[in-house]
Amino acid sequence: MSKYFWHKVGHFFKRKINPVYWIPATILCIRFPFLYPRNRFTGKPTHLIPYYTELDALDKGWRKAFGIYICKDLKRALLEDGGRKKLRGYRIEQIKEKFGELCWYDHGGNEETNRIIYKYTYISLHTCIVCGKSADYVTRGWIEPYCKEHLPDHIDPNDPEQVHEYFTEDFKFYGVYRINFDKKKESKDNGREKEGPGGN
């Protein structure tokens, strides 16, 4: 057997046995059953004791900024609609970043869960994908939101061909606005006001 094979085997068992991985994952899956990793075709759990969750697919900055908030809001909406049965029937198909915003694909939800996902998609547009702070720039080409601290070194913030600077007149076309996470609410713009994480 190759060294690479045994390295992969060792890594697999290390993650499954190490409590640093499976204890937090198990707690999250108990709180939010829809985070339990499942086979996309059969719907059956992929592991008896999970050592990761569906939320792990969310970029680090977004997970830090609003990961737990979106789970709480979805759970509340599902319980209010159909109780525990509705909660157990809700499934996440995929979580990813695309064009600089959150893409959350699911089934078994309702109009309220769709509204919640839209809200956090909106929030993700101006949240740094690395640290979770308010973003200052969004890169062109490979579109991603960054704060000043985590803007990639190869990107020139003064080059309009590489980045859009947030909160300028030309960027309003994209509908990206600042969120005040400390007060958990978003500033008004164009006569509309959106809620921040944990808002009602």
Residue 16 in any domain: the answer is no
Token pair belonging to 9: 């085997």
Range of the domain at 151: 127-190
Q: Is 40 helix (H, G, I), strand (E, B) or coil?
A: coil
Higher pLDDT, 198 or 48: 48
What confidence category does residue 86 fall into, taking pLDDT thresholds of 50, 70 and 90?
A: very high
Residue 186 in any domain: the answer is yes
Distance CA 148, CA 133 (A): 10
Question: pTM surpassing 0.75?
Answer: no
What average pLDDT does the segment 60-79 reach?
94
Residue 11 in any domain: the answer is no
Residue 93 in any domain: the answer is no
Tell me the CA distances in angstroms from 102 to 49, 61, 117, 169, one per residue in order.
27, 12, 9, 24
Considering its fold, how many domains does the chain have in total?
A: 1
Distance CA 112, CA 77 (A): 6
Q: Give Cα 17 to chain centroid, integer Å.
A: 26
Please give the single-letter amino acid code of residue 197.
P
Residue 171 in any domain: the answer is yes
* pLDDT-above-70 percentage for the chain: 70
Residue 115 in any domain: the answer is no
